[in-house]
Amino acid sequence: MIKKAIIPAAGSGTRLGPFTDAIPKELLPVGDKAIIEHVVDAFGLTEVTEIAIVVSLRKHGLSDYLGSGKKFGMHFSYVVQEERLGLANAVLAGEHVMNNHQFAVVLGDNFFRPNDFLRDLIAFHEEEHADATIGVAKVDDVTRHGVIKAEGGNAVVDLIEKPKPEEAPSDLGAIGIYVFKPCIFDAIRETKPGYKGEFQLTDSLKILVKWGKKVVYKEIPGIHIDVGTVKDLVRANAYYLDNRDREKR
Ligand code: UTP
């Protein structure tokens, strides 16, 4: 049973400036909740009860808003990523809270519907006895994602971070949801800075593949919006408001 998780939320959100000069991106609203609250709701449909939220020093707004986790029936701890050094580095900041257990990761600025995507991904990871499970979707723009190369069943044999369209091994891109065994931390420690000089989780996953670990993928149905720009924020809100009544039934 997977009871722990990490939500990376230490990015700078420059594409959503100037709002993000005052408000962390993950606290911008989608409907009547902050983006990250929708992520926490998805965890509420799983067995996860302990979440490490990775923040930067200037993002104390997140702990002011989310608090101890008690109101969500969970326990939150806040860990600091001192420099924005990439997603792999953000995940590593939560290692001590995961304390050698398996755990899930969902980016704090992503919006998914239906919200049970995570429950299904965790169940799949457990059935497969995988070392790492990557949530993917068919993406229109491979240049914004880590793209997987799959072989036979659901095995991942290679990954490329933000490939040129002509070099993409598939149109299946990682969409910020993962389930890991603790060996991912060893792979992150071996990871060298890659795309844009950042420690990319894609490169850590490639190391797991090289070590012969079981890395699998699962397609996530429904809609996924990576809320990076004002256009994405408007799109997520339009979707939420159009579908809210259906959700309440
Ligand atoms: P983004 O790639 O959208 O980066 O991060 P960003 O810094 O937030 O935004 P821009 O590019 O400046 O506009 C995706 C998610 O991963 C987290 C972010 O907080 C966001 O939730 N992240 C990213 C980290 O926690 N640490 C990092 O080093 C990078």
Q: Is the CB of 228 under 6 A from ligand 1?
A: yes
- Rounded Cα distance between 139 and 130, Å, is 24
- Rounded Cα distance between 40 and 34, Å, is 10
Per-residue pLDDT of the chain (249 residues; tens, 9 = 90+): 999 999 999 999 999 999 999 999 999 999 999 999 999 999 999 999 999 999 999 898 999 999 999 999 999 999 999 999 999 999 999 999 999 999 999 999 999 999 999 999 999 999 999 999 999 999 999 999 999 999 988 999 999 999 999 999 999 999 999 999 999 999 999 999 988 889 999 999 999 999 999 999 999 999 999 999 999 999 999 999 999 877 765
| Sign for the pseudo-dihedral over CA of 149, 152, 154, 156 | negative
pLDDT at position 249: 53
* Nearest atom in ligand 1 to 10's CA: 25
C-alpha 245 – ligand 1 centre gap (Å): 31
Phi, psi of 58 (to 5 degrees): -90, 10
CATH 3.40.50.1980 fits 4-139+175-199+212-240, yes or no: no
* Nearest atom in ligand 1 to 8's CA: 25
Pocket test for ligand 1, best of 6, 21, 25 (most atoms within 8 A of CB): 25
Structure tokens at 70: 């008690």
Atom 7 of ligand 1, nearest CA residue: 11
Phi, psi of 78 (to 5 degrees): -110, 120
pLDDT at position 22: 93
Q: Is the CB of 12 under 6 A from ligand 1?
A: yes
- Rounded Cα distance between 149 and 118, Å, is 22
Bridge partners (DSSP) of residue 180 are: 103, 132
The model's pTM: 0.97
pLDDT at position 134: 98
* Nearest atom in ligand 1 to 55's CA: 25
Largest CA distance in the chain: 48
* Nearest atom in ligand 1 to 83's CA: 28
Phi, psi of 57 (to 5 degrees): -60, -30
Would you list the domain boundaries of the chain?
4-139+175-199+212-240
Q: Is the CB of 54 under 6 A from ligand 1?
A: yes
Q: Is the CB of 204 under 6 A from ligand 1?
A: no
pLDDT at position 87: 97
pLDDT at position 246: 74
C-alpha 2 – ligand 1 centre gap (Å): 25
Q: Which residues contact 89 (CB under 8 A, 6 or more apart)?
A: 81, 83, 188, 198, 199
